[in-house]
Amino acid sequence: MFLLDDIVLAPFKGIIFVAEKIDELIQKEISDEGRIKERLMALQLKFEMDEITVEEYDRQEEELLEMIERIRVNKENNQK
C-alpha cells in the first residue's frame, strides 16, 4: 500500500520540492541588503538618465529603503 502511495504522490512531492526551492531563492533575494542597494543605485542611474519620472523614482526608492530597513530590523531581532 505504501509503495502505491509513493508512486501516486511522487509528482506532488516534486512540485512541493520545487516550490520550496523557489521560496528559498525569493527569501534570499529579498533579505540580501547588498542586492537591494544595487537596485537602489540602478534606480538612481535611471533617474539621472531621465528614464523614469520623479514620482516613479520616489515611489521605488521608498520601497527599496523600506526593504533595507526591514532587513536590518530582522537581523537585529535574530541577534537578540
Q: Are residues 25 and 58 in the same domain?
A: no
Torsion of CA 42, 32, 73, 44, to 10 degrees: 0
- Tens of pLDDT along the chain (80 residues) come to 567 677 777 788 888 888 899 988 887 777 788 889 999 999 999 999 999 999 999 999 999 999 999 988 988 887 76
Q: Are residues 13 and 45 in the same domain?
A: no
- State pTM to two decimals: 0.63
- Residue-number span of the structural domain to which 38 is assigned: 32-80
Give the chain's radius of gyration (CA, Å).
20
Q: Are residues 21 and 48 in the same domain?
A: no
Q: Are residues 78 and 44 in the same domain?
A: yes
From first CA to last CA, the distance across the chain in angstroms is 48
Count the domains in the chain: 2
Q: Are residues 41 and 74 in the same domain?
A: yes
